Amino acid sequence: MVNIPGNIQSAIGCDGDWQPDCAASQLTYDADDDIWQGTFSLPAGTYEYKVAINGGWDENYGGNGDASGPNIGLTLASDGAVKFLYDHESKWITDNTRHSIVTATGNFQSELGCPGDWQPDCLRSWMQDVDGDGIYTFITSEIPAGDYEMKAALHEGWDESYGSGGNNIAFTVETGKEVYFAFNSATKSVVVSTDGVPKGDLTTDKAHWVDASTIVLPVSLPQGGSAKLVASDSATLALGPDGVTGDLEIALTHNASGMSNTAEAKFPHLANYSAFTLPESTDITALVKGQLAVAIYNADGKIVDATGVQTPGLLDAAFAYDGTLGATVGEDAIEFALWAPTAKSVKVHLFSTADQYEPTTSIEMTSTNGVWSASTSVDWNRKFYLYEVEVYSYASRKIETNWVSDPYSLSLSTNSAKSQIVDLNDADLKPEGWDALVKPALAAPEDISVYELHVRDFSIRDDSVSETARGTFAAFAEDGRGSLHLAELANAGLTHVHLLPAFDFATVNEDRAAQQTTPDLGVYAPDSNEQQAAVNAIRDEDGFNWGYDPLHFSVPEGSYATDPNGVQRILEFREMVQSLSNMGLRVVMDVVYNHTSSYGQYERSILDKIVPGYYHRRNDEGFVEMSSCCANTASEHTMMEKLMRDSIKTWATAYKVDGFRFDLMGHHSKENILNVATDMQALTTESDGVDGSAIYLYGEGWNFGEVADDARFVQARQGNMSGTGVGTFNDRLRDSARGGNPFGGYDEQGFSTGLFTDSNGKFGGIDERATLLTLADKVRLSLAGNLSDYILTDSTGTELTGAELVYNGQVTGYTADPQESINYLAAHDNETLFDGIQIKANSTTSLADRVRLQNFSNSLVLLAQGVPFIHAGQEFLRSKSMDRDSYNSGDWFNALDFSLATDNWGIGLPIADKNEDNWSLMAPLLANPAIAPQQSDREFALAVFKEWLQIRASSGLFRLPSAEAVQSVVSFENTGPEQIPGLIAMHLNDPTGDYDEETSQILALFNGSADTVEFTLASAADQPFALHPVQQASADTALAAASVDNGVFTVPARTTAVFVVNREDDSSDVDEEPEEEIEEDNRNGRKRGGSVGFGVLTLLALALMRRRLR
């Protein structure tokens, strides 16, 4: 019995779905065709199914014929009959909607058991695509010796069939030989091999042309064998029993010593490949414009292997270009330049208006060493253009004619349909005072604090912003609640706003009138699934997306402009930067150069339609790598790196962006990022209008995918960036404080969420106390900048370095300078900090104490050495109703409310596709009114958050500039096996006043436990420690119980208390340096006292008392 259980069954006539024993959906064995098949009428819709054998689930097959494999998706645009077919020999189950039914049809079919020959409906010669690569194959040894002809027929009829140039394909079978038939559904080409499966595969590109004279491939040359490079200018290479045929053959010489050292350094993953050398007379320029293959033959001249060729190494070696690309507006002409060395021809089409379909005029471009150029009148400034590129595509194996926008676009029409010619120096594109804009002062990278913000989230629900500006760059220039909120944070000490992708991206319709919205969802219960269902229904048609799907790297996103058609986006982005600067905030851009939203010949593909196969990283067989999520780019290739570097220079100089956060930075090379750093350092106010020395770089230094462990290059990953000054996200602090990690341990507690000290009873290890102490060690190291060489005493009493402390089998400490540690507990990815606390806290923990856990957690980030990173709303209990991946969850789950009236807690179960597995855990929490924050809770959290900013800003001891400074100033008490669990005692001691002229000592006591603790520091017994002035007037009334008496410190539960000693009162202070030395130190920037002195902080503290909330 063969059945097709799935959600198709109720439509077929079963009384339910996923029933492997339902008679109505059984397939029938067709003895004539030797397969199981059945045809059923289905209404339009989206379905899933698989095949089950003998009425149960013990034997079932899904996609690709895999046992217990994934469900098979089926989408019907309209009602109709669907034919299902199953071959029990190959275990392939398919249908005639998802796949073509292809038969090898010819005068041999009767030999296979068909009633006759040339019968396309006889499935004894059914060609199957079991692995889903689009190649349909059939292999048989049942055809007797003789001469035959065949075609591939589709849909069991003759309406569509393929052979060779429309003719039958003749072939001769020898006695006992296996015959192989293949149909490529992409190229519509048919292959017949009478010696079994052909030796080679021209649908793959396993060979690599690594420099101007060398090709390598993973095949050894047989003794006495030979190799050829075969080319076809018309992309009609064919692989047959005798080898590869094309327009041109070039004999290759085997190089037993392998490729050159230079090539091996560029392509280390190809180091063991066989190398072949081309003749010096090879016409490279002509060859790269067609289809290429390498064929290997044995000593008898028989084909051994054949494959296509990847050419990025050659293109870098022979055609790399360091000049200006794109459309450049000059005084007398507009110059176009496009790098496309593999193109056969290029035109630039000019359009007078954005909505024009046919171009007003077109210009043939001319090529010089791979760069196509043209010029036209300056009258075309602000008009629109597209390139037409005639080029061979590895994706289709054909010569394609692609109309495509410019990857160097500086402006665009709505939805990126056309590039716009623009001069970014035009006066009308600059807000008043733009050229004279002075950025907020920044003495050192360690002074930075970062606030991660999504442009649309910032204002889309803010009724204090004009309706037109909501959700756009323009909102930052208005005095809305969000702008006032940011100004308050800046006044407290925040320095940088990090904007999630604000470049042109693919997934939002920029025409706001076409964007869909949900009805009022506030009518549903806090644990209902109705809200997510409504959001999910329009999620691809609304105005929201995080934007990690780049289209044009150097253009502001049109959906964030009040008018997406043209240059308004440029002006409004600059107004945003200017407004933030006037608030006292610098701007960081989240940049995504590691992947694009599309590739090949698909819609939205740009780079791959201009130089196919170059800009994207491809695997051993030539298929595009997708480990990032989407089509990975290859910034190890010279011109992809150039595109990235040129783009960043545009943002830095034309838009005055102050920092860059690299998405999946570990997918770039260390060299890429250091080259960007060099570019930035070279920028000067005099020459470029910006001070590049103040531009900060950081990114995700994760180590995974095809580049993992430096497989293709030395990656820009965490450990490798030590000593560069480039920051990487410190997941050690995140996981140790929160508990668990983004990939597991959903309700595991950590140092700041109650592990052991207020256990939720879900600890799955052996010793909860010991686990807490080891997590505390990692938190301590993060408080010390996560330095690899920092010396600390661990929970066993052992003295070790940060690199010797173990984190999930890796080193914990990996930085060489505190500026290299981005300290964070929450970001746009994964649950918000407060959602995590709600999940992990002991069920008996009150709402008030959950708020305290949030405040306590924030203190770990803001008082740590390095660069603190805050997710927008983290300061006021932001929730996404527990959504772990809200990238496409709409405004409902993502919008910020700076009035603090709401925080998005309890607005329904989150989107099913990433969260449904945990709905059963989420629902009771969301429905519990006792733990639902109120506005007063959010106001309290915000007030305490600002206090942390003020305390950080008050002393350079929280912002130490070097590893040496951290080692000399930072130490920890309460360590070893007998420590008080849940308490970290960080002592900052600057006896010589190198880093703070006013404060000599600070003792920060982080008490994450549920009880008040007393801690004795013997050396403090005769020192006048006092609670920090800001905390003396804190909004947190619990700090009234924080005290010190003769070296005994008392700290309330779930509280961080900061005690200080003024230098003038410190009896242990060393003699002051001679006046000359002090002056010299000041000139060298050694003394980094607070940006807010203690006198000013005292006034601030008194002001805060009047705003005391609890």
Instruction: Determine the Cα–Cα distance for residues 577 and 585; give it in Å rounded to an integer.
Output: 9
- What is the pLDDT confidence band of residue 176, given thresholds at 50, 70 and 90? confident
Pair of tokens at residue 355? 């909505």
Is residue 700 annotated as part of the catalytic site, yes or no? yes
Domain membership of residue 824 (yes or no) is yes
174 found inside a domain? yes
Look at residue 1086 and tell me whether its pLDDT is greater than 70: no
Question: Is 525 domain-assigned?
Answer: no
Pick from 872, 951, 959, 874: which is nearest to 442 by CA?
Answer: 959
Q: What number is the average pLDDT over the span 384-397?
A: 97
Q: Give Cα separations from 987 to 198, 370, 495, 817 (angstroms).
A: 72, 61, 25, 19
Q: What is the pLDDT of residues 927-985, one digit of tens each?
A: 999 999 999 999 999 999 999 999 999 999 999 999 999 999 999 999 999 999 999 99
**pLDDT for the residue 1069:** 56
Same domain, 281 and 160: no
Using one digit for the tens of pLDDT, what is the confidence trace for 214-239? Answer: 999 999 999 999 999 999 999 999 98
Instruction: Decide if 915 contacts 543 (C-beta within 8 A).
Output: no
Q: Tokens 């049809």 identify what position? A: 105
DSSP secondary structure string for all residues of 895-917: ---TTSS--STTS-PPPHHHHGG
Mean pLDDT of 868-873: 98
For the beta carbon of residue 98, count every other beta carbon within 10 angstroms. 13
Helices 935-954 & 847-862, crossing angle to 10 degrees?
20
CA–CA dist 677, 952 (Å, integer): 27
Catalytic residue among 575, 663, 883, 885: 663
Q: Sign of torsion, CA 1050 1052 1058 1060?
A: negative
Question: How far is C-alpha 892 from the geometric centre of its chain's CA atoms?
Answer: 23
Q: Token pair of 251, please?
A: 């004999």
3-state helix, strand, coil in the chain (%, to 5): 25, 25, 45
**477: Cβ contacts below 8 Å, ≥ 6 apart:** 469, 483, 572, 575, 576, 578, 579
Residues 251 and 277 in one domain: yes
CB count within 10 Å of CB 544 equals 27
Answer for the pair 107, 117: CB distance below 8 angstroms, yes or no.
Answer: yes
The predicted-structure confidence for 756-791, as pLDDT tens digits, reads as follows 999 999 998 899 999 999 999 999 999 999 999 999
Q: What average pLDDT does range 371-397 have in this prediction? A: 97
pLDDT at 1110: 31
Same domain, 132 and 215: no
What is the DSSP code (8-state) at residue 223?
Answer: T
CATH code for the domain of 144:
2.60.40.10
Tell how far CA 357 is from the center of its chain. 34
Residues 84 and 137 in one domain: no
Q: How much is the pLDDT for 224? A: 96
Closest CA to 190 of 155, 159, 166, 157: 166
1097 versus 462: the higher-pLDDT residue is 462
pLDDT at 1098: 40
CA atoms of 842 and 748, how far apart (whole Å): 11
75 and 224 fall within a common domain: no
**What's the pLDDT at 68?**
87
Residue 567 belongs to a domain: no
- What pLDDT is recorded for position 1070? 54
Task: For residues 36-53, give the mean pLDDT.
Answer: 94
DSSP 1109: -
Give the count of beta carbons closer than 10 Å to the beta carbon of residue 508.
24
Question: What are 263's two structure tokens?
Answer: 């090539």
236 & 297 share domain = yes
Mean pLDDT, rounded, for 88-117: 95
**pLDDT > 80? residue 1091:** no
Q: Give yes or no for residue 1100 having a pLDDT over 70.
A: no
Question: If you write DSSP's letter for every residue of 19-42 in order, what string do you get?
Answer: -TT-GGGEEEEETTTTEEEEEEEE
Q: Shortest CA distance to 783 belongs to which of 958, 584, 1020?
A: 958
pLDDT score, position 451: 98
Calpha distance 515→510 (Å, rounded): 8
617, part of any domain: no
Please check whether residue 461 is in contact with residue 878, taking contact to mean a CB–CB distance below 8 angstroms.
no
The reply to whether 311 falls in a domain is yes
State yes or no: pLDDT of 1107 exceeds 60: no
819 and 959 inside one domain: yes
- How far the first Cα of the chain sits from its last, in Å, is 71
Q: What is the mean pLDDT of residues 1049-1057?
A: 98
* Domain end position, chosen among 179, 197, 215: 197
In this structure, is the dihedral angle defined by the CA atoms of residues 284, 286, 290 and 291, taken in order, positive or negative? negative
Residue 805: CATH number of its domain: 3.20.20.80
- Which domain covers residue 843, as residue numbers? 729-879+933-967
Token pair of 72 as six digits: 């098979």
Measured in degrees and rounded to the nearest 5, phi and psi for residue 550 equal -65, 145
> Residue 785 — φ and ψ, nearest 5°?
85, 10
298: domain CATH number?
2.60.40.1130
High-pLDDT (> 90) share of the chain, %? 91
Domain count within the chain: 6
Which DSSP symbol is given to 1069?
Answer: P
Query: What confidence score (pLDDT) does residue 65 get?
Result: 86
Tens digit of pLDDT for each residue in 324-340?
999 999 999 999 999 99
Helix (H) or strand (E) holding 776: helix 768-783
Residue 534 phi, psi dihedral angles, 5° rounding: -70, -40
What integer best gives the mean pLDDT of the chain? 94
- Interatomic CA distance for residues 1057 and 1059, integer angstroms: 7
Contact yes or no for 958/966 (Cβ under 8 A): no
Q: Are strands 659-662 and 696-699 parallel, antiparallel or unpaired?
A: parallel
- Rounded Cα distance between 543 and 510, Å, is 8
At 597, the amino acid letter reads S
Three-state secondary-structure class, residue 1055: strand
Each residue's pLDDT tens digit, 651-700: 999 999 999 999 999 999 999 999 999 999 999 999 999 999 999 999 99
Residue 226 and residue 176 share a domain: no
Tokens of residue 495, six digits:
């320095």
Side chain identity at 710, as an amino acid letter?
D
What is the CB neighbour count within 10 angstroms for residue 479?
11
Would you tell me the crossing angle of helices 847-862 and 833-840 to the nearest 10 degrees? 130
> For the residues 454-466, what does the mean pLDDT come to?
98
Give the 3-state secondary structure of residue 227. strand
The Cα 801–Cα 184 span in angstroms is 58
Which of residues 283, 318, 353 is at a domain's end?
Answer: 318
Does 559 have pLDDT greater than 50?
Answer: yes
Residue 1054 lies in a domain: no
> Which residue(s) pair with 147 in the sheet?
172
pLDDT category of residue 194 using cuts at 50, 70 and 90: confident
The residue among 413, 429, 445 that closes a domain is 429
- Mean local confidence (pLDDT), 625-634: 96
Q: Considering the chain, what percentage of its residues have pLDDT values greater than 70? A: 96
Give the pLDDT band of residue 351 (cuts 50, 70, 90): very high
Say how many C-beta atoms besides its own lie within 10 A of residue 483's C-beta: 23
pLDDT at residue 411 greater than cutoff 70: yes
Residue 500: its pLDDT value, please?
A: 98
Do 80 and 106 lie in one domain? The reply is no
Q: For residue 141, is it within any domain?
A: yes
Q: How many residues does the chain have?
A: 1110
**In the structure, what pLDDT confidence band is assigned to residue 1079 with cuts at 50, 70 and 90?**
very low
Query: 1076: pLDDT confidence band, cut at 50, 70 and 90?
Result: very low
Please give the pLDDT value at position 1096.
39
Spatial neighbors of 1083 by CB under 8 A, at least 6 apart, are none
Tokens of 91: 């275990």
The burial of 285, by beta-carbon neighbours within 10 Å (0-12 exposed, 13-18 middle, 19 or more buried), is given as middle
Same domain for 314 and 325, yes or no, is: no
Tell me, yes or no, whether 283 and 326 share the same domain: no
pLDDT tops 90 at residue 186: no
| Whole-number Å distance between alpha carbons of 1041 and 1014 | 11
**Which of 264, 575, 700, 891 is the catalytic position?**
700
820 plus 834 within the same structural domain: yes
Tell me, yes or no, if 452 is annotated catalytic. Answer: no
Whether the pLDDT of residue 191 is over 90: the answer is no
Residue 242 has a pLDDT of 85
pLDDT, tens only, 989-1008: 999 999 999 999 999 999 99
Which has more pLDDT, 742 or 951? 951
